[in-house]
């Protein structure tokens, strides 16, 4: 077991103890977890802090890690992700009905680092939705698309409906409708799982939209792009790539040559 009190620079607090309440600021304590859980949690949170439009939170809230219950929690290998605070603003998992896209953005990042993510739509054996107030995440299944895994299908259907606008019933069973929804957004879940999750997080958090055609410049730049090629400054390929230092040197010298009047 490893012990810790924060996750990638953010204080971790327990909000289910006596004297605290769900969605409060929680109780500071020393947490224990299996090393592999902590490693995955660090990676997931590092990415999440970077992607959140508000940046790194001030408090991360958990419903528990090591616990006397069946399954992965008994080994300290599961984490219940309740929510977080940014100063005086907070997001909790049970805000899902009001902030569906944002919820899905967080979920997509968690799914990149954990094979098992159980979300709001999960129904237990007694017919109760007992994960409305947190995501349960663990490593007991490999990361990737599992069409036979109920929690995985539920999460994917949630994203397809709430981020990508596909008409779907979120029931956890993979069939023609879910396959059609993936096809409609140009994703083969088996091949493109990480791409699916990355694009979901981009979209959910409002990052730049994916460029439709990699060989065509954006509309706002088309005129200048054509002119730069005409003048021989650029070769007219790869309009959306970033510039390397050597490319910059070549273009800068071409410009300088054009600006310098011929000697004599």
Q: Give least dist CB 14 to Zn ion, A.
A: 13
Residue number with CB closer to Zn ion (15 or 198): 15
Nearer to Zn ion, 70 or 176 (CB): 70
Closer CB to Zn ion, 74 or 222, in the complex:
74
What's the min distance (Å) between Cβ of 64 and Zn ion?
A: 7
In the complex, least distance from residue 63 CB atom to Zn ion, rounded to whole angstroms = 7
Backbone angles phi, psi at 220, to 5 degrees: -65, -20
Which range in 76-84, 151-159, 212-220, 242-250 contacts Zn ion by CB under 5 A?
76-84
How far is the C-alpha of 52 from the C-alpha of 85, rounded, in Å? Answer: 12
**Token couple for 116:** 């098992």
Strand, helix or coil at 234? coil
Out of 38, 51, 113, 136, name the contact with Zn ion by CB under 5 A.
136
Residue 210 is classified by DSSP as P
Cβ neighbours for 54, distance < 8 A, ≥ 6 positions apart: 86, 89
Q: Residue 46 and residue 187: Cα distance in Å, rounded?
A: 26
Report the alpha-carbon distance of residue 5 to residue 28 in Å, rounded.
7
**What is the number of the residue whose Cβ is closest to Zn ion?**
136
Binding mask 34-73 toward Zn ion (x if CB under 5 A, else -) reads: ----------------------------------------
**What part of residues 77-96 is at the interface with Zn ion (CB under 5 A)?**
78, 80
Burial class, 94, CB count within 10 angstroms (exposed 0-12 / middle 13-18 / buried 19+): middle
Interface segment toward Zn ion; rule CB under 5 A; list 39-47, 134-142, 173-181, 202-210: 134-142
DSSP 174: -
Q: Residue 69 class from Cβ within 10 Å (0-12 exposed, 13-18 middle, 19+ buried)?
A: exposed
| Residue 133 interacting with Zn ion (CB under 5 A) | no
Closest distance to Zn ion from the beta carbon of 119 (Å): 12
User: Half-sphere exposure of residue 247, counting CA atoms within 13 Å on the CB side?
Assistant: 9
CA dihedral 103, 104, 109, 111 (to 10 degrees): 120
Size of residue set near Zn ion by CB under 5 A: 3
Q: Which is nearer to Zn ion, 90 or 136 (CB)?
A: 136
List residues near Zn ion by CB under 5 A. 78, 80, 136
């Amino acid at each position: 077991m490893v012990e810790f009190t924060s996750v990638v620079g953010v204080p971790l607090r327990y909000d289910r103890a006596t004297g605290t309440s769900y969605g409060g600021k929680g109780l500071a304590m020393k947490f224990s977890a299996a090393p592999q859980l902590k490693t995955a949690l660090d990676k997931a949170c590092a990415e999440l802090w970077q992607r959140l439009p508000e940046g790194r939170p001030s408090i991360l809230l958990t419903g528990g890690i090591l616990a006397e219950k069946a399954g992965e929690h008994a080994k300290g290998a599961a984490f219940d992700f309740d929510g977080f605070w940014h100063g005086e603003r907070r997001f909790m998992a049970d805000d899902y009905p009001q902030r569906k896209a944002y919820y899905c953005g967080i979920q997509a990042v968690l799914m990149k680092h954990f094979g098992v993510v159980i979300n709001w739509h999960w129904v237990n054996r007694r017919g109760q939705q007992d994960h409305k107030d947190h995501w349960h995440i663990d490593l007991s299944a490999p990361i990737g698309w599992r069409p036979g895994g109920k929690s995985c299908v539920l999460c994917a259907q949630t994203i397809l409906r709430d981020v990508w606008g596909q008409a779907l019933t979120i029931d956890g069973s993979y069939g023609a409708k879910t396959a059609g929804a993936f096809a409609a957004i140009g994703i083969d879940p088996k091949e493109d799982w990480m791409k699916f999750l990355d694009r979901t997080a981009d979209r959910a958090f409002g990052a730049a939209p994916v460029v439709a055609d990699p060989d065509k410049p954006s509309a706002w730049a088309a005129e200048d792009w054509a002119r730069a090629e005409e003048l021989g400054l650029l070769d007219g390929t790869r309009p959306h790539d970033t510039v390397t230092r050597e490319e910059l040197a070549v273009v800068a010298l071409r410009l300088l040559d054009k600006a310098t009047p011929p000697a004599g």
